[in-house]
A and B are shown apart, each in its own frame.
Chain A
Amino acid sequence: MTAMPAEDFEAAYEALAMAIDSTGPEREALFLTRLALVLGHELGDIAVFRSAIRTALEGVAE
């Protein structure tokens, strides 16, 4: 996998923040889950997707 250029990564950060705001608090979990599924599908690699889940869970899971 290639890393995103810093400028693009920043644009992704901004687009995500604004998308969360547009869903409202009740629907944001649904939106973020849908986003993860869309990204996982586009990624097309279950091993990488599982690794991404582990990275994102770190420090968050109880």
Chain B
Amino acid sequence: MRPAGKGPLDSLYFQYPHFPARLVPELDGNAPRHPVAIVGAGPIGMTAALVLARYGIRSVLLDRKDTFNDGSRALCIARPTMHILERIGAAAPFLDKALGWRFGRSYYRGEQIFRLEMPHPPGEKYLPMYNLQQQYIEQYLHDAVAACELVDMRWQSELTGIDCGNDGVSLNIASPAGDYRLNADYVLAADGARSPVRTRLGLRMKGENYEGKYVIADIRMDHDFPTERRAFFEPSGNPGGTVLIHKQPENIWRVDYQLREGESEEAALREQNIRARVGAILGDIGHDKPWELEWWSIYSANTLCLDDYRHGRVFFIGDAAHIVPIFGVRGLNNGLADADNLGWKLAAVLNGEADESLLDSYSPERRGATLDVFANATKSTRFMTPPTRGWRLAREAALSLSLKHEFPRGLANPRQMQPYTYSESPLTPYPERDAEFAGGPASGSFPPNATLADGGFLLDRAGDGMTAMLFCDGVLNAAQTALLDQLTQLDKRFVALLIQPARATADAVVDTDGEITRLFDARPGTFYLLRPDLHIAGRWKTIVSAEILRTAGLCLGRATP
């Protein structure tokens, strides 16, 4: 919602473009069959199209709107998401515009009780978190989509019907340029929390709704405070409710405040009440200069997801598959990980390189990530919006003790989540090999990054397909050479990184100070196998060729689990 006298897209700082409907071949009676149709051109749908395009797969991207989503919405981009954006060639504008951060503060009745510090090891290329309004996220992704010949972007194109067959999906599309039928081998539903695809297929998400409601309001002000997450429990400006404040580019600040129990939603959303409450909160943080109201909305926490993210040839990605509470900032980040996860697998199948059974791993892997978020989100949501008297009393006790004592302060940790570890995935067949290691990243996890002597980063050297990291002193032995040859034959995109203490071969990754060896708990002969999304498919202290080839075969869809 926006202030009186302003249109729904009348922003203080962002010009919403207007995208016309296009004449498409289907309207001329040509009915080409598309490999992939993506319903919903939000951040998740656009990213899915760009991941597919990275592997040469064409897609049609449909959206019923004529512009981007209104309002700043999902604004926290986590580190692994920056790696996804980098791999689809879209990271540069994000880095130019977004505000990176790693610290936060929690206050109780005006006094600081918790200092959040997200780990930022020196080898990491990206900060743990970046703030950027969703319109910019969509704009930058759309710039990449518009520049990509493999994506057929169709705005003002609304789904009015869907027919699922055994060998394809047929969509009815209505647009101002005409109505038509669109045939595709696969459909990706990236059409958001109220997914029309999900509704039309009669599928329902299951889970819990939480009581507490939050108003989320964007304001513009000159306010001198670093980019940090600030959480206020029991502030005088919003008695009985929690407040969160985040800084965004363009001098825009996000103020989230919890409504009191029993407070009317309708009254809370009136402009005069928004202005009064935000004004009181700004008084609390010492801002007495003018400010302008940009946009506001209302939110309540839910943990809901589909039982299966796949329905035949239809795949659900992002909010269409799962709704998570905002407090862990996993809505956008997990949605983009869905798009990345499905993207490389579907591309391998459509390129004729992988058996269709590879797609069976999408739902367990990404639904596992959602359930992991739920477990943490349930805890943080109970703390942010205590649902009952017991939880309210326990929180008040913990917060009031936190004023003078260290021991309860950790309860206020917002649990900004790490990427999910695919340890129980069918594509991670040898997790027991982790027992050979005393440290380093586990099978299924996202690996740490490291700086290289040439100023680049370790993960920059990974390929588009499978990547091997082989730690070695110099010349490879016969078994290692044979294994790398077999992997090259298995995967035309295969990249081998030979990690050596000093340059022994021309293509070596030189680990001068032993940092990479230490991070991965490696010794000469240690082998890590990375998937196209950089997650670790497996690791071996010394190579076991049959296991490594089987793991690569599973990830490439050449072997059945």
Interface residues of A (CB under 8 A from B): 3-4, 6, 9-10, 13-14, 16-22, 25, 28, 55-56, 58-60
Contact = CB atoms under 8 A, between A and B. Distances in A.
B391 A59 contact: no
A6 B390 contact: no
B146 interface: no
10 contacts: A9-B408, A10-B410, A10-B411, A13-B398, A17-B382, A17-B393, A19-B390, A25-B389, A55-B405, A56-B401
A31 to B, nearest CB: 10
Nearest to B391: A17
B401 A16 contact: no
Given A4-B407, A10-B410, A20-B390, 18 more contacts: A6-B410, A9-B408, A9-B410, A9-B411, A10-B379, A10-B411, A13-B394, A13-B411, A14-B382, A17-B382, A17-B390, A17-B393, A25-B389, A28-B389, A56-B401, A59-B403, A59-B404, A60-B400
Contact of A59 (B400, B408, B410): B400
Interface size class of B (residues with CB under 8 A): 20 to 34
Interface of B: 379, 382, 386, 388-391, 393-395, 398, 400-401, 403-405, 407-408, 410-411
Contacts of B407: 3-4, 9
A46 to B, nearest CB: 21
B380 to A, nearest CB: 11
A3 to B, nearest CB: 6
Contacts of A60: 400
A10 B393 CA distance: 15
Contact of A20 (B394, B398, B405, B408): B394
B388 A21 contact: yes
A25 B392 CA distance: 12
A52 to B, nearest CB: 11
Contacts of B389: 20-21, 25, 28
A9 B394 CA distance: 12
A18 B391 CA distance: 7
B405 A17 contact: no
Contacts of B404: 58-59
Contacts of A22: 390
A9 to B, nearest CB: 7
A40 to B, nearest CB: 17
A10 B376 CA distance: 12
Nearest to A22: B390
Nearest to A23: B390
Contacts of A9: 407-408, 410-411
Nearest to A16: B394
A30 to B, nearest CB: 14
Contacts of B386: 17
Max chain B Cβ within 10 angstroms of own Cβ: one of A20, A58, A59, A60:
A20
Contacts of A59: 400, 403-404
Contacts of B401: 55-56
7 tightest CB-CB pairs across the interface, nearest first? A21-B390, A20-B390, A17-B394, A17-B390, A17-B391, A21-B388, A6-B410
Contacts of A56: 401
A13 B400 CA distance: 14
Nearest to B404: A58
Contacts of B391: 17, 21
Nearest to B410: A6
A41 to B, nearest CB: 21
A18 B378 CA distance: 14
Nearest to B400: A59
A56 B393 CA distance: 13
A23 B41 CA distance: 50
A37 to B, nearest CB: 18
Nearest to B406: A3
A10 B410 CA distance: 9
A18 B393 CA distance: 11
B9 to A, nearest CB: 43
A14 B345 CA distance: 40
A18 B390 contact: yes
A20 B393 contact: yes
B381 to A, nearest CB: 13
A51 to B, nearest CB: 12
Contacts of A6: 410
A58 B404 CA distance: 9
Contacts of B382: 14, 17
A18 B174 CA distance: 51
B196 to A, nearest CB: 38
A13 B412 CA distance: 12
A59 B400 CA distance: 8
A43 to B, nearest CB: 16
B208 to A, nearest CB: 15
A30 B154 CA distance: 65
A60 B388 CA distance: 21
B148 to A, nearest CB: 46
Contacts of A20: 389-390, 393-394
Contacts of A16: 390, 394
A56 to B, nearest CB: 8
B530 to A, nearest CB: 30
Contacts of B405: 55
A25 B382 CA distance: 19
Contacts of B408: 9, 13
Residue among B388, B390, B400, B407 with the highest chain A CB neighbour number at 10 A: B390
A17 B403 CA distance: 20
